[in-house]
Amino acid sequence: MAAPRRAYALIILDGAADDILTELDGRTPLQVAQTPHLDRVASLGQVGLVRTIPEGMPAGSDIATLSILGFDPRRYHTGRAPLEAVEMGIPMNPQDVAFRCNLVTVGDDTLVDYSAGEISSEEAGILIAFLASKLETRRQQFYAGISYRHIMVWREGPVDLETQPPHDIMGQGVTANLPRGDGEEVLRRLMWDSRELLEDHEINRRRRDRGLNPANMIWLWGQGRAPALPSFAARYGLAGVAIGAVALPRGVARAAGFSLVSVPGATGDQRTDYAAKGRAGVEALSRADFVMVHVEAPDEAAHHGDLAGKIEAIEHIDREVVAPMLEALEAREHFRVLTLPDHVTALHRGHSGEPVPFAMAGEGIAPDIADRLDEQIAAEMGEVVEEGYTLMDRFLLK
C-alpha cells in the first residue's frame, strides 16, 4: 500500500520585510500587523533568516524567486524581463533580448510614478497597441501584459546595458537614468518617442480629467535573454502549481515546469482578491504535490509609500490566504508549509538584499521557540541560510 502523499505549500508575501520605522515606534510592518496564522506556522515549526539575494546581485523578485524555488541565481539568472516573457508565452530565440516595458508617469524631467497610477489592463492594452502601431519594427516588438507591466522584445538585440528599475528612481531625473551601453540610442529613442505619442492620447486626457496619473512614457529595463531552468518535477519528484497575478513569479514557475492557475480578481496590487487566491490555493492542494501562492500587494504598497496599506496587505494575506491553506493542510497528516517574503521592500528605500525571515512547519520539522514571523524574532533565532537556494532542499528533502 502506497504511503499517503505529503502536500507542500509555499506562500510568498512579496516585499513584506522592511526596516525598523520611526512611524511604528521602532518596529516593522510585520511586527505591527496582526498575523495569528503566520504566527501559528512559526510556533509549529522553525523560524530563521534566509538570504534570497546573493551578495553583489540586484535585489529584485526575479533573483529572489529563483532562490526560493531552489535555483542558484548566479547560475540561472539571465534577466527579469525574459522570465515575464516566458509567462506571457512570448516566443524568443537564443539571441533575442526581452525588456520590461513599464507604462510610467513623467513630469518635465522627473519620474513621478512607476505604475502610471496602477493603470488598468484595458487602458494599458490600448496604449501598448497604439505604440506598437507607431514604433514597432521587425526587430523591436511590443507585447501587452497586465496593468503597467509589459514587454518589448529586441530580436537579435544587445544585452550589455545598464538600465534602472523605475520603482527605485521615483522622484529622480529621467535623463540621468536612461539606459546606457550597447544599443542605448535605440532604447532612448523609443522612450522619448513614446512620450510624444502618449502625452496627448485620449486615454491620458481622460485620466487627467479624473485626477489620475497619465501613462505618458514607457520605461525599458530588466533586459535579458531567454532562461533555461531545469525541471522542478525532475529535481524534486513533485508536480508544482503556481498561483498569482504577477508575470514575474509566474514566469519563473512556468520556466521550471509548473502549471499556472489564473485567479479572477487577482490584480497584482492592493486591490487584489485575497480570498480568491486563498480558495485557489486550497483547491490546488487537493490535487497537486506542491502549491506556490504569491501575493504582490505588500511590495506595491511599500513602493507607493503606503505604510497603512502595507500592514493591511500583510493582514489580508494572513487572514484570507494563510488561514484557509493552513486549515486545509492541518486536516491531513502529511504536510509542510513555508512562508516568507521574497526580499526586503523598505518603505523609504525600496528593494534591498538583506536576509528575510522565514517560517516552515510540518511533518519532520522540529519546532523551535519562535512564536511569530518577523525580522527581529528571526534574527534572534540565530540562523541565517546564506545560500538562499538551498532552503528549498531543506524544506522538501529534510
Say which DSSP state 322 is in: I
Residue 322, C-beta contacts closer than 8 angstroms, at least 6 positions apart: 11, 35, 37, 38, 41, 278, 339
Domain boundary among 224, 250, 272: 224
| Termini Cα distance of the chain | 23
Domain boundary among 186, 208, 224: 224
**pLDDT of 145 strictly over 50:** yes
Residues 246 and 106 in one domain: no
Residues 232 and 220 in one domain: no
Domain boundary among 169, 202, 224: 224
Sign of the Cα pseudo-torsion (169, 173, 174, 175, in order) = negative
Residues 123 and 200 in one domain: yes
**pLDDT tens, 287-310?**
999 999 999 999 999 998 999 999
Q: What is the pLDDT of residue 124?
A: 98
**pLDDT tens, 325-341?**
999 999 988 999 999 99
Name the pTM for this structure. Answer: 0.88
Q: What is the pLDDT of residue 320?
A: 98
How confident is residue 2, by pLDDT bands cut at 50, 70 and 90? very low
**pLDDT tens, 86-126?**
999 999 999 999 999 999 999 999 999 999 999 999 999 99
- Centre a 10 Å sphere on the Cβ of residue 109 and count the other Cβ atoms it contains: 11
Share of the chain above pLDDT 70, in %: 99
How confident is residue 4, by pLDDT bands cut at 50, 70 and 90? low
Closest to 178 (Cα-Cα) out of 203, 154, 195, 201: 195
Give, in degrees to the nearest 5, the angle at Cα 234 between 228 and 239.
100
Rounded to whole angstroms, the Cα distance separating 79 from 221 reads 10
Rounded to whole angstroms, the Cα distance separating 59 from 47 reads 22
Q: Confirm whether 2 is domain-assigned.
A: no
Rounded to whole angstroms, the Cα distance separating 311 from 297 reads 10
**pLDDT of 374 strictly over 60:** yes
Residues 127 and 248 in one domain: no
Q: Confirm whether 82 is domain-assigned.
A: no
- Centre a 10 Å sphere on the Cβ of residue 178 and count the other Cβ atoms it contains: 17
**pLDDT tens, 247-287?**
899 999 999 999 999 999 988 889 899 999 999 999 999 99
Residues 382 and 257 in one domain: yes
**pLDDT of 384 strictly over 70:** yes
Q: What is the pLDDT of residue 247?
A: 87
Where in the sequence is the domain holding 146, given as residue range(s)? 87-224
Residues 343 and 382 in one domain: yes
Q: Are 356 and 343 in contact (CB under 8 A)?
A: yes
Residues 352 and 389 in one domain: yes
**What is the β-pairing status of strands 240-243 and 97-107?**
unpaired
φ, ψ of residue 265 to 5 degrees: the values are 90, -10
**pLDDT of 1 strictly over 60:** no
Residues 16 and 134 in one domain: no
Distances 271 to 3, 138, 145 between C-alpha atoms, Å: 41, 37, 18
**pLDDT tens, 198-219?**
999 999 999 999 999 999 999 9
Number of domains in the chain: 2
Residues 219 and 256 in one domain: no
How confident is residue 364, by pLDDT bands cut at 50, 70 and 90? very high
Q: What is the pLDDT of residue 150?
A: 97
Name residue 276's amino acid: A
For residue 149, the SS3 value is strand
State the CATH number of the domain containing residue 48: 3.40.720.10
Rounded to whole angstroms, the Cα distance separating 207 from 318 reads 34
Bridge partners of residue 49, in order along the sequence:
357, 384
Closest to 52 (Cα-Cα) out of 329, 343, 249: 343
Q: What is the mean pLDDT of residues 219-224?
A: 96
Rounded to whole angstroms, the Cα distance separating 389 from 72 reads 5
φ, ψ of residue 109 to 5 degrees: the values are -115, 30
Q: What is the mean pLDDT of residues 45-62?
A: 95
Rounded to whole angstroms, the Cα distance separating 68 from 247 reads 16
Rounded to whole angstroms, the Cα distance separating 38 from 44 reads 10
Residues 136 and 99 in one domain: yes
Rounded to whole angstroms, the Cα distance separating 147 from 267 reads 8
How confident is residue 397, by pLDDT bands cut at 50, 70 and 90? confident
Q: What is the mean pLDDT of the chain?
A: 95
